[in-house]
Structure 1
């Protein structure tokens, strides 16, 4: 199954110049733990970094720095690790594991932002697939019982 079947298409994005307090407010308003930092190139949104709620805490608050002095671009994670929209679950999970990340922007072949996938999204999709397999297995037993009375 390609990753584009379980990723979220409504990605919360910001420019690198957005202040950190405004970045945090954007996360709060949208109930997300990350914001993808983008550059606009024509009509395309090109992802250049990502800021997570943990980044804000670790890079400013934990160091007792004034977050209002920083922008999303100052603390964004770069180089950004992305996955192509037609990549499979296993390839995506391997990338996440090897880079130690739980959230990954999904991009088109041209590199523009398509969506975002989290480890939680993949677990939910795999759980659904496993429940379908379980239904097949239990359905087969019930079917066989009906045939062999």
Structure 2
């Protein structure tokens, strides 16, 4: 049984909720990432994705330097513990139609699991299963 901790990204980029959307956008660009975990007092309080910036700023013609990440973040982020099974995490992502899920342990950020992590995990599992089948048939 594979657990979330086995596939999660541990190096999660965070930003304080008081940073401007412009500053957040620069972090996204410079780090070549698609989302930030927003923190207050070192605890996750939301997520800002590229999609949030498009929908909440660009589409509304709001100047990015005039609004904080806290103002545009998604506050209802979903999370799991690091000892959650991959199957349960996938189900939670599917049920909530989300692309990433935050990993918290004792209310502290431990990592994140994205669709890419899940795809890589499933790909390796399929390749292993196919290899085992080939060995058995030889």
Question: How far off its partner does 1:38 sit?
Answer: 1.1
Secondary structure in 1 matching 2:111: strand
Task: Tell me how far apart the structure 2 counterparts of residues 141 and 98 of structure 1 sit (CA, whole Å).
Answer: 38
Question: How far off its partner does 1:105 sit?
Answer: 1.1
Q: Kindly report structure 1 stretches of 4+ aligned residues shifted beyond 3 Å.
A: none
Partner of 1:76: 73
Task: Tell me how far apart the structure 2 counterparts of residues 80 and 111 of structure 1 sit (CA, whole Å).
Answer: 13
Gaps of 5+ in 2: none
Task: Tell me how far apart the structure 1 counterparts of residues 54 and 27 of structure 2 sit (CA, whole Å).
Answer: 15
Partner of 1:86: 83
Partner of 2:52: 55
Partner of 2:117: 121
Task: Tell me how far apart the structure 1 counterparts of residues 49 and 110 of structure 2 sit (CA, whole Å).
Answer: 19
1:126-145 deviation line (CA, Å, top 9, x unaligned): 11011001000001122xxx
TM-score (norm 1): 0.88
1:27-63 deviation line (CA, Å, top 9, x unaligned): 11111000001123xxxx3211000011001101011
Task: Tell me how far apart the structure 2 counterparts of residues 96 and 27 of structure 1 sit (CA, whole Å).
Answer: 22
Gaps of 5+ in 1: 143-149
Secondary structure in 2 matching 1:49: strand
Q: Which has the larger radius of gyration?
A: 1
Secondary structure in 2 matching 1:11: coil
TM-score (norm 2): 0.95
